Amino acid sequence: MKSIVFMISVMALACFSMEAGASDSTSSELYLQAQRNGWQAQKAFRDCLDFVNGWLAHRDPATGLIPRNLTQSNFWNAKDSAADNYPFMVLTTSMLDEPRFETTMKQMLETEQRLTNRLDNLPDDYDFAKQGFRTDEYNLHDLIFGGSEYVKDGLIPLTEWLGPSDWSQRMMGIEESIWKYAPVETPFGKLPSDDFEINGEQLQVLCRLYWTTRDERYREWAFRIADYYLLGHSPISGEKLSLDDHGCEIISGLAAGYYLASHTDQQRREDYRKPVYAMLDRLLEIATNEDGLFHMFVNPQTGEVLRDELTDNWGYDYNAYLNVGMLDHREDYIDAVKHVLANIHKYVHYPWEGNGADGYADAIEGGINLLNRLPDDSGFGWVDDSMDILLAKQRDDGVIEGWHGDGNFARTALMYALMKTQGVRMQPWRADLAFGGVVENGALYLALRGDWNWRGKILFDRPRHRDYMHLPSDYPRINQFPEWFTIDENIVYEVTINHENTVKIRGADLLDGLKFTMDANSTNYIRVNPVQK
């Protein structure tokens, strides 16, 4: 076998044992699949780093911030630059380029807070030519909308992956200011807006922040929004509802509010149950096609489809169904999700949002999140085929389409790569590394290869919903990074190297990373199997 340096803690060394023998045919096939997954992950990771390099080439020389778009938008703004593009540069570098993560990305965060905060922590547009705000006066609605977009689309996924960080602090600061200046009077208290998108975003954020911090204000604010809609202003009470980018936020948001009530306020759970069911039942009845895909716009009152085009946010909408279905054992809601996943393979070449990269990214992300809970072979095949189309949209300079939606390309490509590695990463990462994983009967099978000698750590994922977010369960939600194979610090694992060397390691030690040395052009196989509490 190839030479391997396998270093573990002194505690783990005491548990060392040896196991000899070649792999059987089943494990051989699993390792071959892991190799194939590694090649797919390798390309996605490379493309994400190319995206970062491509966009950083267009930074403003004075501030170091990126422009909103590459044509006629020479300014940084919260709802686009900060929400959709910059955060996925942060995520990419956190996984693939730690030095740049620790320098450039943190510097950009410090700069955008210093330059763009307009009203307490609420950011406003910063014009590079003026070296100041774009407008002489601020618009409160725009500030709240920009802050809400930044928090929900950008800072929540960062927090879901990184845990507590400078970015989670930025998120909580923005939330403080959104609710300090909430302008809309209602019988339930002041709200940030009367808009489905803003209030839906806020529900999703607040429900998670409550669990993360146990700050009662977040729960009170979340219930204020949920009360407003579920006890008087249901999304299905009007004549037009979007199942697309804007309206889908309130659907998943209200499901998150129902989840929060179910765990912390039983009376509210009872009060919310009927209107939540009525909303979900009505939309299944009128808003889906025969394969379960949602149309973009419907009239909930008449049942008329107002726009026949299918929304790329279908998976975001179905998060609500899977959330409530799992919570209340509603098999009809779970079956609805299974139905769309079994049929999504028919839509490989569907022109999501006019065939743009952002449309494909949203559609794929939503699908991956659902497939993480309800695996479907044809659904996974659709993801592979759709990712080929999405990745092919990147230009040679790393830029995808030259607008803020490019960040969503990287978000989804990272999510795809992590699915293919089962959440495993290699530190330091290099472009020549190909590593992928497969899980079978609870065990992880990894295949690793590089063109040159490599020494570093193999990093495994952890149950982030529990350890970082402190959620009662990993409920389906928008803008999360799904967990695949996770290491529990309280479990002992058997780690087998190239079918021969086996060691028992505690999960707490394994989460520090598996130190490993790999020869050039050698393929290495690792099996990680939980064996005891």
Helix (H) or strand (E) holding 378: helix 377-391
Q: What is the pTM of this model?
A: 0.94
85 and 23 within one domain: no
Q: Return the structure tokens found at 97.
A: 């380029």
Domain contains 463: yes
Question: Which residue, of 181, 211, 239, is where some domain finishes?
Answer: 181
Residue 249 lies in a domain: no
Residue 514 lies in a domain: yes
Cα–Cα distance for residue pair 253/250, rounded to 1 Å: 5
Q: Where a domain ends, among 181, 216, 237?
A: 181
**Do residues 13 and 104 both lie within one domain?**
no
Q: What is the pLDDT of residue 15?
A: 33
Q: In this structure, is residue 342 part of a structural domain? A: no
Phi, psi of 525 (to 5 degrees): -125, 130
Same domain, 512 and 443: yes
3-class SS of residue 132: strand
Please report the DSSP string for 17-84 in residue order. EE------HHHHHHHHHHHHHHHHHHHHHHHHHHHHHHHHTT--TTT-PPPS-SSS--EE-IIIIIII
Q: CA–CA separation, 381 vs 252, rounded Å?
A: 26
Residue that has been written with the tokens 């700069």 in this structure:
111
Decide if 209 is inside a domain: no
What sign does the dihedral 418-421-427-433 (CA atoms) show?
Answer: negative
CA distance 446 to 30: 9
Q: What's residue 138's pLDDT? A: 98
User: In 3D, which of 435, 292, 317 has the Cα closest to residue 369?
Assistant: 317
The reply to whether 23 and 75 lie within a common domain is: no
Helix (H) or strand (E) holding 438: strand 434-440
112 and 23 in a common domain = no
Q: Is 10 exposed, middle or buried (0-12, 13-18, 19+ CB in 10 A)?
A: exposed
Terminal Cα-to-Cα distance of the chain (whole angstroms): 31
Same domain, 19 and 69: no
Q: Are residues 27 and 63 in the same domain?
A: no
CA-to-CA distance for 279 and 200, rounded, in angstroms? 14
Per the rule left: phi > 0, alpha: psi between -120 and 50, beta: everything else, 508 is alpha
Contact (Cβ atoms closer than 8 angstroms) between residue 318 and residue 312: no
Contact 365, 411 (CB under 8 A): yes
Q: Are residues 25 and 129 in the same domain?
A: no
My answer on whether 22 and 126 are in the same domain is no
Decide if 309 is inside a domain. no
User: Does one domain contain both 79 and 141?
Assistant: yes
Q: Residue 240 domain-assigned? A: no
Would you say 249 and 197 are in contact if contact means Cβ atoms under 8 Å apart?
yes
Domain assignment of residue 456, yes or no: yes
- Sequence-separated (6 or more) residues with CB below 8 Å from residue 185: none
**Per-residue exposure over 30-59, b if at least 16 CB sit within 10 Å of its own CB, e if not:** bbebbbbbbebbbbbbbbbbbbbbbbbeeb
Q: What is the CATH number of the domain that holds 17?
A: 2.60.40.1180
C-alpha closest to that of 432 among 451, 455, 457 = 451
Closest CA to 246 of 285, 197, 179: 197
What are the pLDDT tens digits along the chain (533 aa)?
A: 322 333 333 233 223 233 333 346 778 999 999 999 999 999 999 999 999 999 999 999 999 999 999 998 999 999 999 999 999 999 999 999 999 999 999 999 999 999 999 999 999 999 999 999 999 999 999 999 999 999 999 999 999 999 999 999 999 999 999 999 999 999 999 999 999 999 999 999 999 999 999 999 999 999 999 999 999 999 999 999 999 988 899 999 999 999 999 999 999 999 999 999 999 999 999 999 999 999 999 999 999 999 889 999 999 999 999 999 999 999 999 999 999 999 999 999 999 999 999 999 999 999 999 999 999 999 999 999 999 999 999 999 999 999 999 999 999 999 999 999 999 999 999 999 999 999 999 999 999 999 999 999 999 999 999 999 999 999 999 999 999 999 999 999 999 999 988 999 999 999 999 999 999 999 999 999 999 76
Smallest CA-to-CA distance from 253 within 284, 228, 288, 282 is with 228
Residues 113 and 155 in one domain: yes
Q: Which domain holds residue 172?
A: 58-181
Residues forming a β-bridge with 292: none
Shared domain for 91 and 176, answered yes or no, is yes
Choose the final residue of a domain: 181, 196, 218. Answer: 181
Report the number of distinct structural domains present in the chain: 2
Contacts of 352 (CB under 8 A, 6+ apart): 310, 312, 359, 360, 362, 363
Q: How far is CA 157 from the centre of its chain?
A: 5
